[in-house]
A and B are shown apart, each in its own frame.
Chain A
């Protein structure tokens, strides 16, 4: 990463650390949720943006992660921070297992299979047989974590920093993965599946792994979400959540890491803004926002920024070229 990029990143980070002390508890809570969504969106982006496998069912992995955290905390008294890696591992495995049969499916058909996953999971969570773990339709209420080592932070502020830490770790991990061989393999499979196989990329393994890793990210986000909201119930994780994730990565910017952050902010705050604008038909306003964003920025916010920066750079270049004799 260029030096300028690094400086920008540090500035943003410093700002992010200052926010919880400036904003009210409620806003900090909202920002925490936005960051949690950003982690989920990075996961989905790896699969759909970089690897071209459309998933309309990532809400299911979010739900699995959330229930992992809730069950561990509620039934087995596991401390909240320990539930995160467990949720990640469970989702890594379940994502990989789902990715295996999905190998045979392309485009629309994969979308349908993931759509069915997203639709069927809430019903599965309500199933009588596992009710005494999942709490059935009543759901599970969990306690909010306190700041450790007696730090002078409120619960909301501590949660914000905890999520920020996890976000940084996941994003650095993601950046490394996507920058290296695996990232190139993902993109190669997306753009030229046959050519990449011919070049020796183990398409089946990479695609299944992509599913697994992307599910892991979303599952970790789900666990964090459960801790932040302090409640899980089957109908919180319906198909609309999966569709919201898809909207998030497209609006944020496909195949872009910062795009996940833009997307997270969008899906957290824009519905609220829409609600302020119109009490009668808020979702209609949201729909108009969506369509408007796609008209103005078909490559998402990250894509628009990239285009804008490129144009600026070209402008400067042309300017300097003209200046030179």
Chain B
């Protein structure tokens, strides 16, 4: 009958075309048969320039991948630019990368204010803002910002872990907090308050901030000691963490100290502060610390060391930032691998939200990366650890998914 002929023809045509469509390559601007363009901004200059080494480690890793044949036969063109940790500059550079360089995705852009500034733009342009390098909690919001995804465990989640631990082990304690007066510091602060719940008001006896332009935090630490607290939550970036740990010890103050994981590096923080002055500090970990004797003969870390020697020899072998960049870059490569020949903006996000039990050899054993369309937080697990003067001794189980 006549009316059945047309739909039949369509069905037949679709059935014949479908396998052809599947085998076809799909490219958005930034991808081709030979190349995938990935854009990135990093603070190579300015107050946050210590993080610039992450960008260099990533660039080195991508060179290694390219040397070994690239991803699915394509070389990765990693275009990284300096934004000096200044949001207007990040906006300008993001526009350049997306509109002028026509990258397939923006990846690993560092800094909470920098990423806040471009979040709306990236989502409007429908270009992925993938694995943003900040622990702010707001990146896990697939409902409102389907093109933005973080990578590292959120700061608030980490602070809640400390709060839970404190409530369990020392419920009557008095807490003093030192925090950096910016997004990062305030995010940790909020998480800690939330974690303590209604006991926050009675337990927290002093909160003191500092600016990155302050030469030292000695005055702040003295204030905290004077409050009579016996617990110290240390929310500081590496340079100031080293100063705070040392000053607390020198003042004769021996509180139970929680140190945020950003400054957990034995080489860049605890050694300058003084290993003997850092005994007893509690932090969380998700990456293997290069100075930790436990990973001296670890296969994964030795691969990392070999990589550093060959591709990033001027990089610091004691700096956990370089491990972090290496691990994050591996996650990018996995996402791109999973895209196969379908290299569109949309598929990049789809694959990024489709990582199942992905393991990195620089993550602590037992920590896996998992994402889904409703779960835009790749790494959510961490483990508490206590420093014993030589290494981080992990205790308890792995917390988080």
Could you list which residues of chain A lie within 8 angstroms of chain B, going by C-beta atoms?
Answer: 24-26, 29-30, 33, 119, 123, 126, 136-139, 141, 225, 229-231, 233, 235-236, 238, 240, 275, 279, 282-283
Contact = CB atoms under 8 A, between A and B. Distances in A.
A231 B181 contact: no
Contacts of B388: none
A178 B116 CA distance: 41
A29, A126, A225, A231 interface centre (most CB from chain B within 10 Å) = A231
Interface of B: 44-47, 81-82, 85-88, 91-92, 95-96, 99-100, 113, 116-117, 119-121, 181-183, 185-186, 211, 213
Query: Nearest 8 CB-CB pairs, A to B?
Result: A231-B117, A26-B99, A233-B113, A229-B88, A137-B183, A137-B182, A236-B87, A26-B95
Given A30-B92, A139-B117, A282-B82, 5 more contacts: A26-B100, A137-B181, A141-B119, A229-B87, A236-B88
A274 to B, nearest CB: 10
B85, B87, B213 interface centre (most CB from chain A within 10 Å) = B87
B63 to A, nearest CB: 14
A162 B99 CA distance: 22
Nearest to A135: B116
B44 A26 contact: no
A93 to B, nearest CB: 25
B96 A235 contact: no
Contact of B186 (A26, A30, A137, A240): A137
B223 to A, nearest CB: 17
A24, A26, A240, A275 interface centre (most CB from chain B within 10 Å) = A26
Contacts of B44: 279, 282
28 contacts: A24-B100, A25-B99, A29-B92, A33-B92, A137-B182, A137-B186, A139-B117, A141-B116, A141-B117, A225-B88, A229-B88, A229-B117, A230-B91, A230-B117, A230-B120, A230-B121, A231-B88, A231-B91, A231-B116, A233-B113, A233-B116, A233-B117, A235-B113, A236-B87, A236-B88, A240-B46, A282-B44, A282-B82
B113 A236 contact: yes
Contacts, number: 72
B178 to A, nearest CB: 16
B45 A29 contact: no
Nearest to B136: A138
A139 B87 contact: yes
Given A26-B95, A229-B87, A236-B86, A126 B182 contact: yes
Contacts of A25: 95, 99
Contacts of A282: 44-45, 82
Contacts of B91: 229-231
Contact of A26 (B45, B96, B120, B183): B96
B336 to A, nearest CB: 23
Given A26-B100, A33-B92, A141 B120 contact: yes
Contact of B116 (A24, A139, A275): A139
Nearest to A226: B88
A275 B82 contact: yes
Contacts of B116: 138-139, 141, 231, 233
Contacts of A240: 46
B181 A123 contact: yes
Nearest to B211: A123
Given A231-B88, A235-B182, A29 B81 contact: no
B187 to A, nearest CB: 9
A124 to B, nearest CB: 11
B213 A139 contact: no
B82 A24 contact: no
Contact of A139 (B81, B113, B185): B113
A119 B91 CA distance: 23
Contact of B99 (A24, A119, A137, A283): A24
A138 B116 CA distance: 8
A233 B87 contact: yes
A293 to B, nearest CB: 20
Contacts of A26: 95-96, 99-100
B45 A283 contact: yes
A126 B113 CA distance: 13
A279 B78 CA distance: 13
Contacts of B47: 238
Nearest to A131: B186
Contacts of B85: 235
A233 B90 CA distance: 12
Contacts of A235: 85-87, 113, 182
B120 to A, nearest CB: 6
Contacts of B182: 126, 137, 235
B186 A136 contact: yes
A141 to B, nearest CB: 6
Nearest to B183: A137
A126 B181 contact: yes
Contacts of B95: 25-26, 29
A137 to B, nearest CB: 5
A141 B96 CA distance: 20
A240 B185 CA distance: 22
B120, B181, B186 interface centre (most CB from chain A within 10 Å) = B181
A25 B121 CA distance: 14
A23 B213 CA distance: 40
Contacts of B92: 29-30, 33
Contacts of A238: 47
A31 B243 CA distance: 44
A275 B186 CA distance: 32
B81, B85, B88 interface centre (most CB from chain A within 10 Å) = B88
Contacts of B113: 137-139, 233, 235-236
B43 to A, nearest CB: 11
Contacts of A138: 113, 116, 183
Contacts of B96: 26
A54 B155 CA distance: 43
Contacts of B87: 139, 229, 231, 233, 235-236
A187 to B, nearest CB: 34
Contacts of A119: 213
A226 to B, nearest CB: 9
Contacts of A141: 116-117, 119-120
Contacts of B46: 240
A119 B213 CA distance: 9
A225 B183 CA distance: 22
B204 to A, nearest CB: 15
